[in-house]
């Protein structure tokens, strides 16, 4: 008696374990395999098969079997000849929702067990003691069919019809739990499928948005003359695409002539404000009183000569973008009013009693070193941090590899059309002169040089070195090969100059971003890790200053001097004079 109780306890524990594993299985296939194992255990059967409906609900598909099927079983049609099959015990079970009891499939009476008999023939077996049980959950919907066969008692004897009905009751109780679990697994699998599909759609949408953004960026760049093929400018274009649709202020920094207004127009043209006005004002072009009236407007009678109300540029740019060039030259008194606009979005005209709420995106630009102006009390520190939410550092033309030739060809074509000249292009020796020049005036200087060259070039001819300014034509004299022994020295000097230039660019980027390594790296077109490596190599800290360690990494020149060390010169190059560009 005790042994029998122990056996029943062990069997119950085994069943609970199988059901628990089935409920926790994340994979639907694993859950179905555990289902047939548990059903076989409950019914005391030799074989168990699980059938599920196909996608059209017209067939039962074999999805799991224990022991594994020896031969592949064909789907069972639910509507052979167009009518429900109520003769096969498994299809009858699917339609009726009741359990079919078949003591012997070879002598099945009214049941049509021809498919089961054909399976036995292929597997060299004999199906007896068969139960077909529907899997029905809470909503009474059949989600599948269990087939167990080879039912036997504890002594291994085949069961009669009455004993089989007792097992059918147990199997029916189990089938309810199994149906709920498998239905949940099916829902989970469907959800995962839908989530994967949604992820794919979102990925495709992001890629399409990125493609359209780049197309919009390219289309907007062409009319503005922003022609580039350099990695530095590609990084700037990428940043423009990311910030364009936000409302945050943008601070564009770069040497004179680098195209800061072109970039400002591009920020506007690629933003969701592009249908609204783009208004530009050079802060160095007007005295303080006139600049205040120009920006904020005035009311009639506000001062002598104010005979009528005049809207300011902020009002004219409502809904769009206001570009403030040479922001470093804005009078300190006006800076406080600009700060109020950035903080509150309100503008008060000269002579007005109430402020007006406006929606204006501020893009500012400077070629000055604003940290120096802050230290000298000429620029408000709080305004700097309001403006520099998103800094854009424009590289000088000499650092835009390949862009001199691209821009020169574009300018030559534009000016030839404007002046009615037939210019056949730029001769190779003239192009070499252009690429060797340092371009202190950057794109603006190149533009002026090319207009002069087009005017001097005869119709039907090419632009030659003689059509360039003398300072640019001079490099032809350097075309002769270097004397013996000079090549190594020249290479060493070139490495020094490159390292020195790199240090200066890193220092400038760090100064203009307030020591923010991430923003500086983005402005330089580098990864954050690469910038850290360059700082370590040149012996600089996160602010671009020299590290205190006496032996720090650097590039040593032929004379023993360390580039990036104290012999390099002051850590902060002289600030350009106000109004220099």
Question: What local confidence, expressed as pLDDT, does residue 412 receive?
Answer: 94
- 145 has a pLDDT exceeding 60: yes
pLDDT at 152: 84
pTM: 0.49
For residue 223, the tally of other CB atoms under 10 A from its CB is: 11
483 has pLDDT over 60: no
pLDDT band at 555 (very low <50, low <70, confident <90, very high): very low
Per-residue HEC secondary structure of 302-361 comes to CCCCCCCCEECHHHHCCCCEEEEECHHHCCHHHHHHHHHHHHHCEECCECCCCCEECCCE
Residue pair 174/41 in contact by the 8 Å Cβ criterion = no
Whole-number pLDDT of residue 214: 59
The number of beta carbons lying within 10 Å of the beta carbon of residue 51 is: 25
Cβ neighbourhood burial of 105 (10 Å; 0-12, 13-18, 19+): buried
| Two tokens, residue 134 | 């529907």
pLDDT tens string 168-212 = 888 888 888 888 888 888 788 888 889 999 999 998 888 887 666
Per-residue pLDDT, 405: 92
Return d(Cα 276, Cα 319) in angstroms, integer. 6
Identify the CA nearest to 65 among candidates 139, 136, 3, 149: 149
Residue 314 — pLDDT band, cuts 50, 70, 90?
Answer: very high
564 backbone φψ class: left, alpha, beta (φ>0; ψ -120 to 50): left
pLDDT of residue 570 exceeding 60, the answer is no
CA distance 464 to 473: 9
Mean pLDDT of the chain: 83
Per mean pLDDT, which of 162-176, 217-231, 405-419, 498-512 is the most reliable? 405-419
What is the full DSSP assignment across 524-563? Answer: HT--HHHHHHHHHHHTB-TTSPBPS-SS---EE-TTSPEE
Largest CA distance in the chain: 119
Predicted pLDDT of residue 10 = 58
Cβ atoms of 366 and 254 within 8 Å: the answer is no
What is the 8-class DSSP label of residue 350? B
Tokens at 162, concatenated: 């009455």
Helix, coil or strand: residue 576: coil
Cα within 13 Å of Cα(210), Cβ side: 8
Check: CB of residue 295 under 8 Å from CB of residue 266: no
Instruction: Say if strands 555-556 and 562-563 run parallel, antiparallel, or are unpaired.
Output: antiparallel
Give the side-chain half-sphere CA count within 13 A for 328: 24
Where is average pLDDT lowest: 106-120, 263-277, 303-317, 539-553? 539-553
pLDDT of residue 577: 38
- The whole-angstrom distance between residue 85's C-alpha and the CA centroid of its chain comes to 55
Give residue for tokens 């574009």. 410
pLDDT at site 215? 58
pLDDT at residue 48, as a whole number: 93
The three-class DSSP label of residue 270 is coil
Dist CA 320 CA 247 (whole Å) = 10
Q: At 278, is the secondary structure helix, strand, or coil?
A: strand
Range among 37-46, 146-155, 248-257, 540-549 rated most confident: 248-257
What per-residue confidence (pLDDT) applies to 502? 79
Question: Between 317 and 228, where is the model more confident?
Answer: 317
Q: Which two tokens stand for residue 356?
A: 């007006």
Q: Which domains does the chain have, with CATH numbers?
A: 2-190 (3.30.450.40), 225-395 (3.40.50.300), 398-477 (1.10.8.60), 496-568 (no CATH)
Tokens encoding 323: 């570009």
Q: Which residue, 355, 352, 337, is CA-closest to 303?
A: 352
Structure tokens at 11: 């069997």
Instruction: State residue 216's pLDDT score.
Output: 57
Whether residue 465 has pLDDT greater than 90: yes
Name beta bridge partners: 42.
none
Mean pLDDT to the nearest integer, 322-342: 94
Instruction: Say what the pLDDT of residue 562 is.
Output: 39
What 3-state class would DSSP assign to 369? coil
Nearest to 280 by CA among 361, 216, 347, 215: 361
Tokens of 124: 């060299």
Q: How many residues can be counted in the chain?
A: 581
pLDDT of residue 493: 65
Mean pLDDT of 79-99: 92
Question: What pLDDT does residue 225 have?
Answer: 52
- 541 or 493, which is more confident? 541
Which of 218-232, 250-264, 483-497, 557-571 has the highest mean predicted lDDT (pLDDT)? 250-264
Q: Give me the percent of the chain exceeding a pLDDT of 90.
A: 44
pLDDT for res 532: 83
């Amino acid at each position: 008696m005790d042994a029998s109780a122990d056996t029943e306890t062990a069997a119950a524990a085994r069943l609970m374990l199988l059901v628990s594993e089935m409920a926790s299985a994340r994979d639907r296939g694993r859950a179905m395999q555990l289902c047939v194992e548990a059903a076989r255990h409950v019914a005391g059967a030799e074989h168990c098969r699980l059938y599920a409906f196909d996608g059209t609900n017209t067939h039962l598909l074999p999805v799991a079997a224990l022991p594994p099927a020896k031969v592949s079983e064909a789907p069972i049609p639910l509507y052979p000849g167009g009518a429900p099959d109520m003769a096969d015990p498994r299809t009858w079970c699917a339609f009726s929702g009741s359990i079919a009891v078949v003591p012997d499939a070879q002598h099945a009476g009214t049941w049509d067990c021809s498919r089961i008999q054909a399976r036995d023939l292929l597997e060299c077996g004999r199906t007896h003691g068969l139960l077909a049980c529907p899997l029905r959950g809470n909503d009474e919907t059949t989600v599948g069919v269990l087939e167990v066969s080879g039912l036997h008692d504890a002594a291994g004897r085949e069961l009669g019809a009455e004993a089989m009905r007792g097992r059918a009751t147990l199997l029916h109780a189990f089938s309810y739990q199994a149906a709920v679990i498998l239905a949940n697994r099916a829902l989970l699998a469907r959800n995962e499928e839908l989530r994967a599909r949604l992820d794919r759609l979102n990925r495709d949408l992001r890629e399409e948005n990125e493609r359209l953004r780049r197309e919009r960026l390219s289309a907007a760049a062409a009319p503005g003359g922003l022609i580039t093929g350099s990695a530095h400018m590609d990084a700037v274009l990428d940043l423009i695409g990311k910030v364009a649709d936000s409302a945050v202020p943008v601070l564009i920094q770069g040497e004179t002539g680098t195209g800061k207004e072109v970039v400002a127009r591009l920020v506007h043209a690629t933003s969701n404000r592009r249908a609204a006005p783009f208004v530009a004002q050079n802060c160095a072009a007007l005295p303080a009183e006139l600049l205040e009236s120009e920006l904020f407007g005035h009311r009639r009678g506000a001062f002598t000569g104010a005979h009528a109300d005049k809207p300011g540029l902020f009002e004219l740019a409502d809904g769009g973008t206001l570009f403030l060039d040479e922001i470093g030259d804005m009078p300190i008194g006006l800076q406080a009013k600009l700060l109020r606009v950035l903080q509150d979005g309100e503008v008060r005209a000269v002579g007005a009693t109430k402020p007006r709420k406006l929606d204006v995106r501020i893009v500012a630009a400077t070629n000055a070193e604003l940290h120096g102006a802050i230290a000298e009390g000429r620029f408000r520190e709080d305004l700097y941090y309001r403006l520099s939410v998103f800094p854009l550092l424009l590289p000088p033309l000499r650092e835009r590899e390949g862009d001199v030739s691209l821009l020169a060809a574009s300018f030559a074509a534009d000016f030839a059309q404007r002046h009615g000249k037939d210019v056949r292009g730029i001769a190779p020796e003239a192009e070499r002169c252009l690429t060797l020049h340092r371009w202190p005036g950057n794109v603006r200087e190149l533009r002026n040089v090319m207009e002069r060259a087009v005017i001097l070039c005869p119709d039907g001819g090419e632009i030659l070195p003689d059509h360039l300014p003398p300072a640019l034509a001079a490099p032809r004299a350097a075309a002769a090969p270097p004397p013996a022994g000079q090549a190594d020295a020249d290479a060493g000097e070139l490495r020094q100059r490159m390292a020195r230039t790199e240090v200066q660019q890193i220092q400038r980027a760090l100064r203009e971003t307030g020591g923010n390594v991430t923003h500086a790296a983005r402005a330089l077109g580098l990864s954050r890790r690469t910038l850290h490596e360059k700082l370590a190599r040149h012996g600089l800290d996160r602010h671009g200053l020299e590290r205190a360690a006496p032996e720090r990494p650097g590039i040593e020149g032929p004379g023993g001097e360390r580039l990036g060390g104290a012999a390099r010169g002051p850590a902060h190059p002289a600030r350009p004079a106000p109004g220099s560009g």
